[in-house]
Amino acid sequence: MDDKIRDAQQAEYILTHPLTVQAFADIEKSLNDALTNVNEKDSDQIKNLVLMKKLLRRFRLAFETHITTGKLAEKELLPRRSLFSVR
């Protein structure tokens, strides 16, 4: 359980770090620019660019999933910790 919380904290740190945020923005902009400028008859290139956009989204989602899982684990752990705390 603590591993999930630690992973969530690390994932959130990475995903919200300014360098990561900028990298995602730069990659997304590059892909959008490439899609805008690709020859509409070049279906292979269009397909590859769309796949790259989907991969970028999945990569971000992997981090978001760790964050969500960790937050749920933390909520689940809080009631247990309060049972054992001394008052």
The answer on pLDDT for 59 being more than 60 is: yes
The answer on pLDDT for 48 being more than 80 is: yes
**Which residue type, as a one-letter code, is found at position 28?**
E
Find out whether 70 and 4 touch, Cβ atoms under 8 Å: yes
pTM of the model: 0.78
C-alpha angle 37-25-40 in degrees, rounded to nearest 5? 15
Nearest alpha carbon to residue 60 among 31, 20, 29, 30 = 20
Taking the C-alpha atoms of residue 15 and residue 61, their distance in angstroms, rounded to an integer, is 10
Taking the C-alpha atoms of residue 79 and residue 83, their distance in angstroms, rounded to an integer, is 6
* pLDDT tens digits, 6-38: 999 999 999 999 999 999 999 999 999 999 999
